[in-house]
């Protein structure tokens, strides 16, 4: 769906949105808080719509403006997304609207963290972290960010990394960051529980969706964190978006998002938005969060299919004699086929250093996936990307 069609659609009309030109926000009528379901992001006190914008894969400022027009308030990016183009695009948009009309969250990934174990190294330094953060501020063209996340922590050692934690607290004291948090999509219950114990974190950004195979632990961690006053933001809400490699069977996006929001401990969500029809669905859910019986039965039917989403439970890893980073390889597979983003897949593959044909020495696969993935087939398939030069696909 193109922007013009989007604005003719029922959502835009119902929200009382008027078309605006390039001259910033003059003339636009953003919806009132009463039309949208808001929650308070824990101890931050930030009032946010239950649906926010996961900007990760979008470089389209018209899409961001349409979301802002439609009442979205929080925009989530990261230092590393699209080699910085993501933050730069957002910076261009932010320079045209009042600073108080949006919240922005960005993430900085500490250097030198082992992608298999999640453990830091001597390269994990404050200097590197600060340098990246300062560049992010410049790209975003703002004086401060509302939330700064440590990007992708998956071990207690990273949650408690003294140098990085001190740097984040210092940035908060200096007013360059209002609130600090951690993003996590592996070992999430452990990370969240550790954050609660430490008591210094304002927000957690965590994977959370109906396809996770350890939902009891997730629900318990979210409940504890919310009770402790932490803001909870959910990502990976669409569980990969598609149930098959050919993209003939989409995840029911509306039902999947409502399922996440039906947990009152979740304060907002950041579905990745790359097209106007996705935005239309997300704006609809932002106003109507009720998970219907039909939504539920569709999710139950989908849950039995393997899909593309690996929830990084690592249950398969002990069965692999080569100790392959299977969760990361499966995530690269999802990026390539679910997101149709070969650049992201290629970047992740290069971080794993698993090589072009990591299963070649195995006569049969002894690793088993709880979701029923054919691991050997998927690994052989996605590993072909290793031999394609990055500049041809990024």
Count of residues that bind ligand SF4 according to CB under 6 A: 27
Q: Which residues of 82-93 are buried (b: 16+ CB within 10 A; e: fewer)?
A: bebebbbbbbeb
User: Is residue 375 a contact residue for ligand SF4 (CB under 6 A)?
Assistant: yes
Site string for ligand SF4, 333-372 (x = CB under 6 A): -------------------------xx--x--xxx-xxx-
Query: Which of 167, 187, 252, 311 contacts ligand SF4 by CB under 6 A?
Result: 311
Query: Which of 109, 176, 224, 376 contacts ligand SF4 by CB under 6 A?
Result: 376
Tokens 């430490």 correspond to: 198
Query: Which of 55, 90, 164, 324 contacts ligand SF4 by CB under 6 A?
Result: 324
Only one of the segments 140-148, 170-178, 244-252, 321-329 lies at the binding site for ligand SF4 (rule: CB under 6 A); that segment is 321-329
- Distance separating alpha carbons of residues 257 and 274, to the nearest angstrom: 16
User: Is residue 330 a contact residue for ligand SF4 (CB under 6 A)?
Assistant: yes
The CA-atom distances, in angstroms, between 161 and each of 123, 158, 299 are 12, 5, 39
Query: Which of 192, 234, 308, 379 contacts ligand SF4 by CB under 6 A?
Result: 379
- Are the beta carbons of 145 and 171 closer than 8 angstroms? no
Q: How far is the CB of 118 from ligand SF4 (least distance, A)?
A: 14
Query: Which of 66, 226, 251, 310 contacts ligand SF4 by CB under 6 A?
Result: 310
**Considering only residues 30-89, where is the footprint of ligand SF4 by CB under 6 A?**
none
User: Is residue 104 a contact residue for ligand SF4 (CB under 6 A)?
Assistant: no
User: Is residue 322 a contact residue for ligand SF4 (CB under 6 A)?
Assistant: yes
Is the Cβ of residue 23 or residue 387 nearer to ligand SF4 in the bound state? 387
Is the Cβ of residue 199 or residue 361 nearer to ligand SF4 in the bound state? 361
Is the Cβ of residue 264 or residue 355 nearer to ligand SF4 in the bound state? 355
User: Is residue 327 a contact residue for ligand SF4 (CB under 6 A)?
Assistant: yes
Query: Which of 64, 326, 332, 334 contacts ligand SF4 by CB under 6 A?
Result: 326
List the one residue out of 212, 195, 215, 213 whose CA is nearest residue 204: 195
User: Is residue 373 a contact residue for ligand SF4 (CB under 6 A)?
Assistant: yes
State the residues that interact with ligand SF4 by CB under 6 A: 310-316, 320-322, 324, 326-327, 330, 358-359, 362, 365-367, 369-371, 373, 375-376, 379
């Amino acid at each position: 769906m193109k922007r013009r069609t989007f604005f003719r659609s029922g959502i835009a009309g119902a929200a009382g949105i008027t078309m605006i030109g390039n001259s910033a926000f003059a003339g636009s009528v953003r919806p009132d808080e009463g039309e949208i379901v808001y929650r308070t992001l824990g101890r931050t006190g930030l009032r946010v719509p239950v649906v926010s914008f996961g900007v990760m894969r979008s470089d389209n400022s018209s899409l961001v403006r349409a979301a802002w027009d439609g009442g979205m308030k929080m925009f989530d990016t990261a230092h590393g997304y699209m080699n910085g183009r993501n933050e730069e695009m957002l910076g261009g948009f932010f320079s045209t609207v009042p600073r108080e009309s949006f919240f922005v969250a960005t993430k900085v990934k500490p250097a030198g963290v082992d992608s298999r174990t999640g453990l830091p190294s001597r390269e994990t330094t404050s200097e590197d972290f600060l340098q990246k953060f300062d560049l992010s501020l410049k790209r975003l063209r703002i004086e401060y960010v509302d939330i700064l996340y440590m990007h992708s922590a998956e071990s207690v050692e990273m949650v408690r990394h003294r140098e990085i934690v001190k740097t984040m607290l210092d940035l908060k004291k200096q007013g360059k960051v209002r609130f600090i948090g951690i993003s996590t999509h592996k070992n999430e219950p452990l990370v969240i529980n550790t954050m609660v114990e430490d008591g210094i974190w304002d927000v957690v950004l965590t994977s959370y969706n109906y396809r996770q195979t350890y939902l009891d632990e997730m629900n318990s961690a979210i409940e504890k964190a919310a009770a402790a006053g932490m803001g909870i933001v959910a990502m990976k809400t669409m569980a990969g978006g598609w149930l098959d490699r050919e993209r003939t069977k989409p995840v029911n996006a509306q039902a999947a998002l409502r399922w996440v929001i039906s947990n009152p401990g979740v304060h907002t969500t950041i579905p990745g938005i790359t097209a106007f029809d996705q935005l239309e669905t997300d704006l609809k859910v932002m106003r109507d969060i009720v998970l219907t019986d039909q939504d539920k039965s569709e999710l139950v039917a989908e849950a039995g299919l393997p899909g593309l989403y690996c929830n990084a439970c690592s249950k398969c890893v002990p069965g692999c004699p080569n100790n392959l980073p299977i969760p990361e390889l499966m995530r690269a597979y999802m990026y390539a086929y679910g997101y149709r983003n070969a650049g992201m897949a290629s970047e992740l593959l290069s971080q794993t250093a698993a090589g072009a044909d990591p299963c070649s020495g195995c006569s049969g696969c002894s690793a088993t996936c709880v979701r029923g993935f054919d691991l050997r087939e998927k690994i052989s398939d996605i590993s072909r990307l290793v031999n394609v030069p990055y500049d041809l696909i990024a």
